[in-house]
Amino acid sequence: MTLLHVTRSAIGNLGARKHLTQIQWGSGVLYFYEEVAKRAVSLGKMRHYNENIPSKDKQLQFLNSYFISKEKALTLLNVSDNHFYYLILRNKITRLRKGSAIFYFREEIYQLT
């Protein structure tokens, strides 16, 4: 998967925040690798990047196929924030962190419904 979590300061250093697609995921922001890499190459901060990257649509499809946001999980499970975190602590739901973005496995949420 080539969606990246990049710190806002790193994006700021590329001077490209307004030129990159931002995907809000919970409290985090994800950026597309190809956009960040192309910007870094154009500024001479990176030599080259892998051009065999899936399209943005395929990357978003992957993200939506395997992961779910907290808000969507709360709605599907019809539980409170406290009960949701209780399920995480009891290892019923896996929480993945990538920088400030947090992912939950879609399959695990649907198994609990």
Q: What is the pLDDT of residues 35-72, one digit of tens each?
A: 777 777 666 766 655 666 677 787 788 888 899 989 99
Q: What are phi and psi of 96, to 5 degrees?
A: -105, 135
User: DSSP assignment, residue 18?
Assistant: G
pTM over 0.75: no
Expressed in percent and rounded to 5, the helix, strand and coil fractions of the chain are 50, 20, 30
Using alpha carbons only, give the angle 37, 41, 50 rounded to the nearest 5 degrees: 50
pLDDT band at 1 (very low <50, low <70, confident <90, very high): very low
Enter the tokens of residue 102: 């947090």
Cα-trace Rg, the chain: 16
